[in-house]
Structure 1
């Protein structure tokens, strides 16, 4: 419909007065800009941006060119934009791994991919390990939490059998962290192998059939500057997860039945005690390794304050995704197998780029310096962020905070955000105050049982003592259903592409929210502080100044 000239002219005169005033210094975030970044990064040409792939390399060059065009300072290797990381990719051979148990009923064997999932050892291509078995409960040790599952047990030179997860009632983030340290604890007590057994709770959260879908994926780890593949617990030579037939054989003739152990573990505070098992295990696994390279992309916007510019805020998002799925026997020739990763995490990178644009073009530059990090290897175990946090572009003591952007769900008009980890440091109120003018609320973790705080790149900064949060769109205004549908559908699937009904206005709004948060971090007089008596602050930054909660 055409508008009469006079009416159009009147509308043009009246409209500006009807809109709220916007300062010339306020950046504008548009749906078109967000869409354009995601369109490129989620294109089939990039073939899912797998770590070490040509598609990821193209994506890295795209991000670097954007940084360059904004006038950021390159902070990668040798004055460039890219921080090259060598990765060890370890894969299975055509000889199946085998777990053999010797117990009261004799010898029983299972091959990998049936009722056992045998891990790979990047340091030892051919493992043949035999040792006695000791059940160690959850296999967790932490005096602060009153946990000492190894008390009175001798596991030196033995294979420990642990329950998955952590005791019910333990705070989820602390519990998830402690659960991730089991191999290091076992190694510290002299164990040489580990077997993992499900609890009633873990069976519901991750059924065996679901675990098998990932059983044959390659193992990745970063290679340090000395050429050695990084392994958290190199003394643990072999590890495996086991299903019910193996569990029954493990606990045959044991002082306590697995049913009784699981019943105790299912109670709040339940901490089954360990004991020696009647038998031994032999784990045989062969693998082949190769080295691949994949870069982080790093740019810095120098701060404007003569003093505070020596402090750095890191805004991070992972650039990699999971590549191309293997063909299934019943696939048609035109079956889409490219995992484009439009929301996971091209949308996070688009947000990072738009925040970088707004910061770089602002007439008033931020007081602190800002590092923009597009990391690799997140889908392989937070590897690129881990490498950067250990080999940062600036001394890590000068990094005062990190905000990580991973999989913003831009499928609905969000009205709240979740800052996973906000309760551990003054980043929480900083985030809440920054987004309040947008009528966006900061909501608590809606799924604490998932331990999200330790499952994205920000956690690698936490482990170096840096206060950090992982920001995501919240569960309000239809968000809970959108999250449930996505996680049960397009997540890590070819369906996460541009054919989704992505709300690009929500994308522009998410970019603005993160600009405000990053700006608040960069411009505040005081840097973020861990709260007093916080588990993570005390664990990873024991000597740092703390804030009252």
Structure 2
């Protein structure tokens, strides 16, 4: 027993000695990740008690970093969550020449959920608008010559080949297509299954999962937010249904398919007949919060401009077990991003020098449910001055010694040059996205700010040296899996370097005489740049 008692201090001190091997800046980062990715927080799913604990932790750390609360409820900005799904299989009917042509669910169409109108009906003539694209930079307007006011617009899924990747990802989104249709007076949108989409996931295979759940936020008016409430996507029509829809019209369905195969412009115009499309939607509500802290600027002329540093706090919660583990901890996705954000804030405090512009540090909720918290914050930032830039920190893969950085969206605004200069101070280069096919630009919270007209970037480690292999390993074996936890070989020295680069960039953005700006002729700047100029 005496020998055991003598060994006890050694057993207690062993992990302490390991912890002391980390430099203080590295230990601080690990401490945040260790708490946020702990099993006790059960994957921090938005809307759960465990997420709320994580939010309180972040608020406490913001207080310790010298920030001021900037939410509607102290540190917290409440975000009402609306989850919705189709309540039943709908009935659609096509009337032509006095004859009712029934359309069969799961063969001809699948209906969508519409949270703004739980019992939705649209009836009227259908106008086919091809891909439904409006892309002035590419001299393309699929609505040219079409009158869709008060009509149902049928839009072909996807985009044609040849568009820049990020532009294609944006314009190919069904909700963005509905936004363009709404702006031209349409009252509803149906998406037509393309050959490409059918090859990937045919409508018949989609039908059993038609009632998948989606999430959005509740506005101050109490209504659910969707991109195009005046012309919602009521459903998807399969190729069998499309053949019925186009029958008897000047535009032939076979010509549409041929145009997709050849990559040529599709015929567009009104179709013969009247379509009645319905959708019933089941809606549920929950509550979550963004966490918002402010560092006030020192320059009277600039302190009412705000640089945002964002990182999503939520992960996917508890799910299917793998090797007996059902907790999806989210260490790199995105406890690491939140940790970086908190230590950037602490670096400002340690510097003893306030920035000229004010900085808002935002831990966003429900990113994993569709960029919900950041979308709400971009629409309701809670400050009177303009948001001039967003730096987003999402899932930095930090399991190796970094040689370079990827700045998603950096080529679109002045933020790119700022980050190149900041990276150089740590001996790093900024390199292009090595996986453009993943469309990360539209899959992270900075995209919410882009759509609000605010220059924004998302920062990740680059592919140099061991980076490419490490990133491929993480995406293949750990992304959205229980193994994204502290058992990963996280390089805390790399995490500290990543933090220093982001501090340098945010400091430069906050202190620069010039306000961050979109690059001349940039697609997203032209599309949305006017929205953020307040």
Give the match for residue 60 of structure 1.
55
In structure 1, the gaps of 5 or more residues are 1-27
Distance in 2 (alpha carbons) for counterparts of 1:63 and 1:418 = 26
Distance in 2 (alpha carbons) for counterparts of 1:355 and 1:510 = 10
The offset of 1:110, in angstroms, is 1.8
Residue 402 in structure 1 maps to residue 397 in structure 2: no
Distance in 2 (alpha carbons) for counterparts of 1:44 and 1:280 = 55
Give the match for residue 295 of structure 1.
289
Q: Secondary structure at the match of 1:186?
A: helix
1:407-432 per-residue CA deviation (whole Å, 9 max, x = no partner) reads 11223333221111111211111100
Residue 182 in structure 1 maps to residue 177 in structure 2: yes
C-alpha RMSD of the superposition:
3.3
The offset of 1:265, in angstroms, is 3.5
Distance in 2 (alpha carbons) for counterparts of 1:165 and 1:194 = 14
Q: Could you tell me whether the CA contact under 8 Å between 1:192 and 1:238 is conserved in 2?
A: no
TM-score (norm: length of structure 1): 0.82
The offset of 1:277, in angstroms, is 4.2
Choose from 328, 337, 341 the match for 1:352.
341
Distance in 2 (alpha carbons) for counterparts of 1:214 and 1:486 = 28
The offset of 1:391, in angstroms, is 1.6
The offset of 1:47, in angstroms, is 2.3
Q: Secondary structure at the match of 1:358?
A: helix
TM-score (norm: length of structure 2): 0.84
The offset of 1:377, in angstroms, is 2.1
Distance in 2 (alpha carbons) for counterparts of 1:507 and 1:212 = 44
Distance in 2 (alpha carbons) for counterparts of 1:168 and 1:142 = 14
Q: Secondary structure at the match of 1:34?
A: helix
1:66-86 per-residue CA deviation (whole Å, 9 max, x = no partner) reads 0111221111115x1001122
Distance in 2 (alpha carbons) for counterparts of 1:130 and 1:235 = 14
Choose from 26, 31, 42 the match for 1:31.
26
The offset of 1:433, in angstroms, is 0.7
The correspondence of residues 47-446 of structure 1 with structure 2, limited to 5 A, is: 47-78=42-73, 80-93=74-87, 95-97=88-90, 106-111=101-106, 117-180=110-173, 181-199=176-194, 215-247=210-242, 249-250=244-245, 261-262=256-257, 264-265=259-260, 270-277=264-271, 281-325=275-319, 335-397=324-386, 399-446=387-434
Distance in 1 (alpha carbons) for counterparts of 2:123 and 2:313 = 41
Give the match for residue 491 of structure 2.
503
Distance in 2 (alpha carbons) for counterparts of 1:251 and 1:478 = 53
Cα 1:41–1:247 shift into 2, 3 Å: farther
Q: Secondary structure at the match of 2:303?
A: helix
Cα 1:441–1:237 shift into 2, 3 Å: closer
In structure 2, the gaps of 5 or more residues are 1-22
Distance in 2 (alpha carbons) for counterparts of 1:116 and 1:500 = 44
Q: Could you tell me whether the CA contact under 8 Å between 1:29 and 1:508 is conserved in 2?
A: no
Bigger mean CA offset, 368-377 vs 185-194: 185-194
Distance in 1 (alpha carbons) for counterparts of 2:65 and 2:204 = 48
Bigger mean CA offset, 491-500 vs 429-438: 491-500
1:132-153 per-residue CA deviation (whole Å, 9 max, x = no partner) reads 4432111122444422212333
Choose from 518, 530, 545 the match for 2:506.
518
Q: Could you tell me whether the CA contact under 8 Å between 1:29 and 1:509 is conserved in 2?
A: no
Give the match for residue 11 of structure 1.
none
Q: Could you tell me whether the CA contact under 8 Å between 2:113 and 2:281 is conserved in 1?
A: yes
The offset of 1:172, in angstroms, is 2.6
Q: Could you tell me whether the CA contact under 8 Å between 1:261 and 1:272 is conserved in 2?
A: yes
Distance in 1 (alpha carbons) for counterparts of 2:240 and 2:334 = 39
Choose from 436, 444, 458 the match for 1:448.
436
Q: Secondary structure at the match of 2:229?
A: coil
Q: Secondary structure at the match of 1:530?
A: coil
Distance in 1 (alpha carbons) for counterparts of 2:200 and 2:224 = 31
Residue 540 in structure 1 maps to residue 528 in structure 2: yes
Q: Secondary structure at the match of 1:316?
A: strand
Cα 1:497–1:168 shift into 2, 3 Å: same
Q: Could you tell me whether the CA contact under 8 Å between 2:304 and 2:384 is conserved in 1?
A: no
Distance in 1 (alpha carbons) for counterparts of 2:165 and 2:487 = 35
Distance in 2 (alpha carbons) for counterparts of 1:346 and 1:207 = 36
1:313-337 per-residue CA deviation (whole Å, 9 max, x = no partner) reads 1111111222233x6xxx79x8433
Distance in 2 (alpha carbons) for counterparts of 1:498 and 1:109 = 50
